Structure 1
Amino acid sequence: MAYWASVFVLAALWPGALSVTRYSIAEEMERGSVVANLAADLGLELGGLAQREVKLDIFTNKKYLDFNKKTGELYIVERIDREYLCPAKPTSCFLKLDFIIETPLRIFNIELGITDINDNAPHFRRDRVELDVSESATPGERFSLPNAVDPDVGINTIKTYKLSTSDHFTIEIQTGSDGTQYVDLVLTKSLDREEKAVHKLILTAVDGGVPVRSGTANIIVRVQDTNDNPPQFDKQTYTINMAENTPIGTLVVNLNATDLDEGSNSEIVYSFTLYTSEKTQDVFTLNPNTGEITVKGTIDYEDMKFYEMHIEAKDKGAHPLLGQCKIVVHVTDMNDNFPEITVQSVKNTVPENVPVGTVIALVGVSDRDTGDNGKINISIHEAMPFILNKSSDRPTHYNLIVSEPLDREKVPEYDITLIARDTGKPPLSDNETITVHLLDVNDNAPQFPQSFYTIRVMENNAPGSLLSSLTAFDPDLHENQYLVYFIIEKEIANTSMSMLFSINPENGNLYALKTFDYEIEKEFLFHIEARDSGSPPLSSNVTVHIIIVDQNDNAPVIVSPWRAHGSVVEEKIPRSTDKGSLVAKVIALDTDSVHNSRITYQFLQVTDASLFSLDQYNGEIRTMRMFSYKDSRHHRLVVVAKDNGEPALSATVTIKLLTVETDVKAYSDMTEMPLEYDIFSDINLYLVIGLASVSFLLLITILVTIVLKCQKSKPNKTAPPSRNSVISESNSTIADSPLVSNDAYWYSLFLAETRKGKLVVRQPVPKGSRYVVSSIPRGTGLSETSDSAASTL
């Protein structure tokens, strides 16, 4: 805002002197405000000024004003501050300058009178004043306060002082000889530090300008203490609940006695009074400086239910003051006592057949705690055939009784863990273990791992060899477990089992007493009994099946072609024999089992391999082509018959063939015709009758020989075969040879034998018995035996 305060022109022209032009401006005029129109005031033409040089010299060395030649106006370039230009606070303040126009030179003296405005507020040299006043000071005492300053002048300077509202203080203003005002703080009411330790006052200096401006200073009055207040506790009596067994060092209470005084007058020392018992002081300790009461001994509810402590608090003033209080500690029962189990009587050893309901032990329980902490529940740790019943006449006693049948073989010993647990929080428990051993009773019969034993015994075993170990198990103990083994007597063909086998009565080892021959004895079936030594003894038996396993201990026996002397057979065949004609048939028998008696045939030596062939399964030797004139008349064939055993056994036969120029058509036709009983001519009828008679006599001789042999060596229902007989028992455990049951074999055998001038007769006997095949040379009445042992098919 720009305005003219006043404009006046003083033109005093003295001879030889310049004129002075004065203006009055307010210091608050803004930049650009026009101070005066010098061209108009000085009578200058604007057009002429524009052609001349104009400058302003400001004596304060600061450019506050400037001149506009176009308008002829003097305007403010920099805001004018009266307090800066006239710091000594004179009554009047002028800014002097020269207005110079050249060509021709003219100088005008200009003075600007700066009018003061209230642009400065009063302020204190110290805005915070602190005073220490004793609370014992009397009303009327004075305290000097600093005065304020104001750079403005006249009515704009400080006019008066004011103090904020206070019940205890006021101010008085003094004026000095130079007009300066001084302020005193006056106490009007006694102070109480405990009521108010610090008084905060505000001193305000106010000027007389418009608008009014003021400045403030903070007056802090600190009230100095005197020992006029005793220490005081929050309560006269403190009631505290504390659990027993509280750890040592635990804080019981932190006493905080207060003393309204300060300094040493408020420093407090705590102590027990004489009313506190020594026993209490043994359990609790008091920190004299902090007032903390902590546990230093054992708190036991069962020993003391509550404690009383009398405490004194004393300050450190010159004349000490003190206060007192009482602390009552009620001890809370904690579950700090474990239940106790007392076994008053016990039976540590009982028979396993002890009756259900038998009392094993009498157990008592107790707990020193009270309430729920002293209530006890007792139980068995895990499921067992025992229970606890509470005694009717003694509530804290229990009977441990048998609740289920006991079995030593399942559980020989019981560790019965009794657990007593109270109902406190947290619950405490105690345990006691009662060990009960069960005495064995002979209540278990021996048991074999299997109900049926199949034992395979290789024939030709050594007498006394171990066959197997038949061990039974008895879960009982001691004599109830000691087992004795027996072979239950059984006779086979008037022979007792104890003559064939023996068993060790202590360990059940089964031995063979003789050497077995598979071709005579195939199997045995009997029972073995195991009996314990208890009273009464218990036993069980098991079935034993002995199977004699065949060995390849019999070599094949060649029964065809017939060999009367030695192992060489001589044969004659026509040279006109056709291709594929049967020359001879080699038949070998083996008395071993089926596997070991399977026979195959091979040429061991042949004169001409292109002329003869040998069927490896049926032993037939046939021509592979017709004889030619180049072929030799003599042929030597060596055939080996080998069984299927391991290692294989064999027999050989040598056949010498002589080719002749003979018409053998009728003979050849006879060899190819089917087997018929009417091929025999009347001439041979007598020969057949003789053969039958000889065969019958031979059979009788064989039976007598078998009986004698059985009496001397070993019983057997199977008669031993004769050297020149083939015996097979149908529907028995002895394996039948395919050759016996196959009529094709008998046809081949008959054909081969008849070509050698022999008769082969198959004599059927009742079903289930043997077939007896006899081989008799033609023209003889006696049986001729071969050089090999008989074979069982």
Structure 2
Amino acid sequence: MVVSWGVVLRAVVLVEAACSLVVGQVRYSVPEEAKAGTVVGRLAQDLGLEAVDGEGGRLRLVSPGRGWSVEVSGASGALVVSSRLDREELCGKSAPCALRLEVLVERPLRVFHVELEVTDINDNAPVFPAARKNLSIPELNTLPGSRFPLEGASDADVGANAQLSYTLSPNEHFSLDSHKTEEDGESLFLVLRKPLDRETVPVHRLVLTASDGGRPSLTGTMELVISVLDANDNAPQFNQSVYRVQLPENTERGTLVIRVNATDLDEGTNANISYSLQHLFPQDGREVFGIDRNSGEIRLRGDLDFEDVGLYRLQVDASDQGNPPLSGHCKVVLEVLDVNDNAPEVWVTSLSVPVPEDASLGTVVALLSVSDGDSGANGRVRCAVWPASPFGLVSRFAGSYSLVLREALDRERVSEYEVEVRAEDGGSPPLRARRGVRVPVSDVNDNAPSFLQAVYTVLARENNAAGAELGRVWARDPDEAGNGRVSYSLWEGGVGGASASSGWRAASSYVSVEAESGRVWALQPLDYEEVQVLQFEVRAVDAGDPPLSGNATVQVFVVDENDNAPALLPSSVGGGWGGSSSMEVEAVAAGSLWAWASWGAPAGQVVAKIRAVDADSGYNAWLRYELWEPRGKGPFRVGLYSGEVTTSRALEEADGPRQRLVIVVRDHGEPSRSATATLSVSLVEGGEAAAAASGGSSSSSSSSGLRPWSWSEGVGSSSGASSTNVWLVVAICAVSSVFLLAVVLYGASRWAPRAAVLSGAGPATLVCASEVGSWSYSQRQSRSLCVAEGAGKSDLMVFSPNFPPPPGPAAKETQPEPPALLDTVSARPLSPLAPSPDPSSLLLALVCLVSPGSRCWESGCVGGSGGGWRFHPSLLDAYKTRRLR
């Protein structure tokens, strides 16, 4: 408090007056906390010492005045505040607070008593014993209205400044209650108004405020910390009532599934939670999951399988350790996610096999069932048939397919199918499965027996033994069992006789066909002179129902053997100079002939012509004439192949009247056969020769029926010449056409592959004989030969028709033939792929075949080589036509 100087002066005056009245004692009042220098009072003036000159300056305070923070100013004699005055420090709670001072005056020494009252100001706020007070109150056992004592605050001030009032911070649970008594003073209580819940508010923090009565009022506070003691009144609670988890089915064991967490609002042992696991669905899933009792971690202990269990329902219990213990519950729903870990499976539920090869399209072969244990895209299966086959899949409904026929079957092409049904799911990566289905095809008799060749050519030696195998035909039937079991039979065919009297005979009288093997057997020996070509058909019939059949033509060519010796025919002789006259040679005896010759006949004059015929053909019928006697230089000679007896020089009288000639006729067979003719030539004058010729002609004509030979007969009449010219034109045209065809076939054969057969090289000779001599063509070429059984043989094939000679005295020429022939040969018809004859030899053969006036038909045209030689089919057909005509 600040005191003005006027007030101080008035106080000093009063003090002086009081001192003069009351034995010199002065009383002052000063508020505490006055500033230093504040004048409490004019002590010298109040003591009346100011009038005495110089006495006021001799005043001083006697100890302990200095400890009370006041002093006497030496100049003015005033009592002033020297330092801070604190009433509470000087007097404490005493009231009033009066300080007694002794003032000493020297010269003369005098003592004055001064009383200084320090008045209180509100400079101290209420103070509590502690800034915080902790209280512990049980939550359930404390009832509303319970009182809890509190210590009040203290105030260093006195009087009204020390009168305290209390307030409590607003709350719904507590209130204050205070009582004042003279004996106990003031008592302060904290009153519970509402039950406590530790889980709601575990700690209540309140502020207790004490206010004094000063103006302005000062306050002091104390914090009340009320801890609510726990009681086990709360069960553990999970943060979720249902936990949902998804795990792939291939999750490894030990994987953390989920961590559940339960909280207990209690504390201490009441909040210690332990977890346990119960399996709601399925019941047998206890070994799949496990839980940690302390942490609540659920881990995978077993294997998950979506296809077995796709959903697990678990119950987790959380129990505290209170007394009694309380527990909480939650559910864990675990969904197992499908992983593409199951490959599709394919089953054949029904199989209808074998399938007939004539089954209609759409026929159901098998029923298939397809499944996949996965779900979603992993379980969607696509099916296909592999490889591309005549079968396909038709989906009937989900997971069921039909294996049906999409294309026509042919057992002969494919007798059995290995069908693979492939299934693939839609997973990533996809899994696959396959199922093999064996589908055999049953046979239907839809194939007739088929021969490898339309025409079989067989060569058979004449005089073969009865029962000899001539060849074998074989028909292929691709069907099976009875449908493919072929039996053979002789169907039709025959042969015409060599003469008109022999008639037609069926082939069954010569050959038979074995039903099982197709072998052709000879029923009797064959005679070339009787049968040259035997043609018949063989039928092959299968055992199907109905049976099917096929035919093949078999041509058996009888190969000639040299079993006939040459036979002499009546000869003719020419007489006269230059051949102007002629006479017939007459037979004197068996094998003896005679003729006339004119003296002086020049060299080269034809005297006679020896005629012989051989019933064989080819080389076996090719005759040569040799002059056996006389040997050496005689007047006559014989043409080697013509048989003409001519003069080797001019005839002279020295040659004698008669010449005896022994002529041997030999064939070319192996061994060769021969006939001997004896010709007696009478040498006469020209006139006698003419008369003998005319006489002999008439007698010979009447006796033997033979006309005398003349050059006109050799050349032919005018009508015969005209006919010959017409045939010659026809032959030339035919030869030209066939020649062009032969050239084309020859060119094709040069580029065609040869058959894998044995071949041999050797000279080939084509020979044709006529009345005027013989001519031949040689070629060197490898030829192919096909034998019925066994290896191929290098031998000669002879196709030499031996037709009866046309009317007239023409001699029959023969052809050479190798010594050995095949017993039984089955030759395929020539084709553009087979070797063909040389065009030149073909041309020569054609001339022989198509010239009706040629004498080749008498002796035949043959070809031969070391490797064999065959006619082209066109020549062979022409030959057969001429022979069978």
- Relative to the length of structure 2, the TM-score reads 0.40
More helix by share: 2
Structure with greater Cα Rg: 2
- Relative to the length of structure 1, the TM-score reads 0.44
